[in-house]
Amino acid sequence: MDIYERVQYLAKNQGLSVRELGNKLNIGPTTLYKWKNQTPKSDILIKVADFFGVSTDYLLGRSNDKYDLSPEEKIDIGIEAEKMMKGLNDEGSINFYGEPMSEEDKEATLSALNLLMTINRKKAKKKKDMN
């Protein structure tokens, strides 16, 4: 699928024509249609991606993950995972069968938390999109 086809698909799933989408976003009536043959301007591409809650990489065909997270969302997840790990450490040492968790195990746990939170955020985006 090219950029225009992805936009058309997303618009159709929300009950919109491409023209109606352009009107909602205050984009000229032919701007989105030009994406059939022209590379979009980044500011408009971002506006469309934000409207649909997808990444610009998805629109550009660089990713097929419609629910990929924005860099800001990834940073937020990292911060939340760090807070969770800090909370676990503040309440006392994390132990497995009476042995303190090694730094390596803490890093692995942090990575696992990041992964789980990312999966959950993507599921939430998908659920929101289906409603």
> Please, where are the H alpha helices in the chain?
3-13, 18-24, 42-52, 56-60, 71-90, 103-130
User: Can you tell me the distance from the alpha carbon of 93 to that of 34, in angstroms, rounded to the nearest whole number?
Assistant: 59
User: If 0-12 CB within 10 Å is exposed, 13-18 middle and 19+ buried, where does residue 101 land?
Assistant: middle
pLDDT band at 11 (very low <50, low <70, confident <90, very high): very high
Task: From 53, 63, 42, select the one nearest 13 (Cα to Cα).
Answer: 53
Residue 123: predicted pLDDT:
85
**pTM for the whole thing?**
0.62
Looking at the domain that runs over 3-60, which CATH code has it been given?
A: 1.10.260.40
User: Can you tell me the distance from the alpha carbon of 70 to that of 93, in angstroms, rounded to the nearest whole number?
Assistant: 33
Structural domain spans, the chain:
3-60, 71-130
pLDDT band at 84 (very low <50, low <70, confident <90, very high): confident
8 or 73, which is more confident: 8
Task: Say if residue 91's pLDDT is above 60.
Answer: no
Contacts of 64 (CB under 8 A, 6+ apart): 58
